[in-house]
Structure 1
């Protein structure tokens, strides 16, 4: 590994099988420290842009850490974005748009993927968002 995100439990950050790489769910951590905490509130979606981008960057870095020399990610196939939000929140896809934009910025058309945005009652470390990717070589 080349310094990507470190697991916070008994799992690996990403697993490669054949031509696919599956990442664990990644939260907005830097050097193991949670940088953003608390639920997403209606009317404050923009305030969570950097948290989502950091979680997505961690997921992408975890996938890239599984590449061999000379390989690259051919495509991100799917992304799951878990959003811890206040009761009654309905803009999960708007939160996930920040992650989609990040992947497009980093990978161009290779970063455009299918996705699922899911509202949850809570996330590890009180993270507002957790992101999981499946990428193809």
Structure 2
């Protein structure tokens, strides 16, 4: 397990499970309900957001793992969507998503390698710099 469960910031649950699939809500870089860093992410500053991206990904993974029954493991992360709050003209969304992909591979090995989308947005809840959602197979 990844650790503490993310605290929903509204009227939703952190993850849902249907059969062997788990879908997480979008997770931001919150620790104990508090945003550790705000955006937007600017060109040339991606490295300074590495901890925030890693925490958002860890929160998504923790939400997915919380839906496992005793003795179960995640068979694979199927897909990940990385929403990047970025300044106008920003074009390095995939580099931000690479940080999350690396975290999944560190934690799960080849089971963490997945398809993904990296999407630039004008803003995210709580002024988050990044929001990550995953779909996993049990």
- TM-score band w.r.t. shorter chain: over 0.9
Mapped pair 1:100 → 2:101: yes
SS of the residue 1:76 aligns to: strand
Q: In the TM superposition, what is the alpha-carbon distance from 1:56 to its structure 2 partner?
A: 0.1
User: TM-score, normalised on structure 2?
Assistant: 0.97
Mapped pair 1:86 → 2:87: yes
Q: In the TM superposition, what is the alpha-carbon distance from 1:3 to its structure 2 partner?
A: 4.1
Structure 1: runs of 5 or more not aligned: none
| Structure 1 segments (4+ residues) deviating >4 Å | none
Q: In the TM superposition, what is the alpha-carbon distance from 1:6 to its structure 2 partner?
A: 1.2
- The residue number in structure 1 matching 2:126 is 125
- Report the RMSD for the aligned CA atoms in angstroms: 0.8
Aligned residues: 136
- The residue number in structure 2 matching 1:70 is 71
Structure 2: runs of 5 or more not aligned: none
User: Which whole-Å CA distance do the structure 2 matches of 1:70 and 1:110 have between them?
Assistant: 17
1:1-137 aligned within 5 A: 3-137=4-138
SS of the residue 2:103 aligns to: helix
User: TM-score, normalised on structure 1?
Assistant: 0.98
